[in-house]
Amino acid sequence: HLPAATFLEIGPDAVLTALAQDIVPGATAVAAQRRNRVETEELAGAVGRLHTVGVRVGWAAYFEGSGARRVELPTYAFQRARYWLIPQDSGEGVAGIGQAPGGHPLLGAEVELPDGGLVLTGVLAPGPEGLFAEHALLGTPVLPASALAELALSAGERLGCGTLAEFGVDRPLVRPADAAVTLRVVVGAADEAGGRSVAVHSRRGESDGWVRHAGGALRPEEAGGTAVPEAWAEVWPPAGAVPEACDDVYDVLAGRGYHCGPGLELVRALWRRGDEVFAEVALDGEEAAAEGFGLHPALLEAVFHPLWAAGANAGPVLP
C-alpha cells in the first residue's frame, strides 16, 4: 500500500521514476538528477516541478547564500525590457493637420474652404453617458432637433452669419449604443446678399454613407440693427399671466413617447395668459454646462416641452 501521490527519486539518474508512475496510477514522480546533465539545473527543475504539484518548498533555504532577491515579474514572463511606443505630440493639436479648433462641445475642428465656406467636424461618443444620452423618441435614442439647430447657428456665427433665417429637419439623428457618430456641418459660400446655406450630416462608420439630417439658410446680422424686445420680456412673470403647475409636464410627454431623462427636465415654472404659455427653464448644476454653446440646446428644447405636453394631439411627440 502506497498512500503517497508524489515521489522524489534521489539518485544519479531517473531509474525508478517511470516505474513509480506505472505502479501508482495518477502519481507524480520526479527525478532529482539525470545522467549527463548539469546537476544544479536538474535539481532546480525537480524542485520547481514539486512546487507546481503542491509540495511546500523552503525557498529561503534553497536560495540562501545565492544572492537572489524577489523581483516583480513583467506582464510576460522573464522579459524585463519594455518597448512602449513613445507618443509623437507636436503640441500643435488639430493645427498640425491643417485644421483649426472648433471651440464647440460637439465640434472639435474646422476647415475653411477655398470658396469661403466652412466645414466643421466632431464625434458623438456612444454609451449611456454624455450630452443628450437620455433623449429618446419612442424608445430610440436621438439627438434633439434643437442640437441640430444650434450646430447650424454656431457654424454660421463663425462666418458672421449669426441669424438662422430658415431651418428644417429632414430626418432624426439616431444615436447607436455601440458606435460613435461622426458629425459634419457644412456652410456654403456667401451669396450676393451675404447669406449662406448650411447643412448637418452624420455617418456611423467609415464604410457607411453620409446622411443629411437638417439644413437651412443663414444670413448676416443687420448692421446697427437692434432686436425689439417683446412686451412680456420687460416684466417677469408677464402681466396678467396665471401660474400653472408644471409637475406633470414630463409624465405627459413620457406617455406620448418622448423621454428626455432627468438631466434635460429643465422646466421650472409655467404661466398661462389666454392662448399664450410662458415657461421658465434653467440648467442644473454649474454654468460650465453651457460653455461653448451659443444657445444651449437643452434650454431651447425645454422651451417647447410645455407646448408639446399641452397639445391637443394625443399621439407621439415628434419635434
Residues 56-81: tens digit of each pLDDT = 999 888 888 888 888 877 666 666 67
* pLDDT top residue among 273 and 95: 273
Amino acid 137: pLDDT: 87
**Hey, how many other C-beta atoms are within 10 angstroms of the C-beta on 188?**
19
Q: What is the mean pLDDT of residues 103-117?
A: 89
- Residue type at position 57: V
Q: What is the CATH number of the domain that holds 280?
A: 3.10.129.120
Q: What is the mean pLDDT of residues 137-152?
A: 91
Residues 193 and 302 in one domain: no
pTM (predicted TM-score):
0.65
Q: What is the mean pLDDT of residues 97-105?
A: 76
Q: What is the CATH number of the domain that holds 165?
A: 3.10.129.110
Amino acid 1: pLDDT: 47
Residues 178 and 111 in one domain: yes
Amino acid 318: pLDDT: 62
Q: Is residue 319 part of a domain?
A: no
Residue span of the structural domain in which 31 resides: 1-84
* pLDDT top residue among 209 and 134: 209
Q: What is the mean pLDDT of residues 167-184?
A: 90
Sequence-distant (6+) residues with CB within 8 A of 28 are 5, 6, 7, 49, 53
The whole-chain average pLDDT of the chain stands at: 84
Buried b (16+ CB within 10 A) or exposed e, 219-250: bbeeeeeeeeeeebeeeeebeebeeeebeebb
- Residue type at position 113: L
Q: Is 29 helix (H, G, I), strand (E, B) or coil?
A: strand
Cell 523552503 found at: 58
* pLDDT top residue among 235 and 154: 154
Amino acid 129: pLDDT: 59
In terms of DSSP bridges, do strands 140-143 and 163-169 run parallel, antiparallel, or are they unpaired? unpaired
Sequence-distant (6+) residues with CB within 8 A of 42 are 31, 32, 33, 34
Reported as a single tens digit per residue, the pLDDT across 47-56 is 999 999 888 9
Residues 248 and 273 in one domain: yes
User: Is the bond leading into 237 cis (omega within 30 degrees of zero)?
Assistant: yes
Residues 243 and 292 in one domain: yes
CA dist 20 and 26 (Å) reads: 10
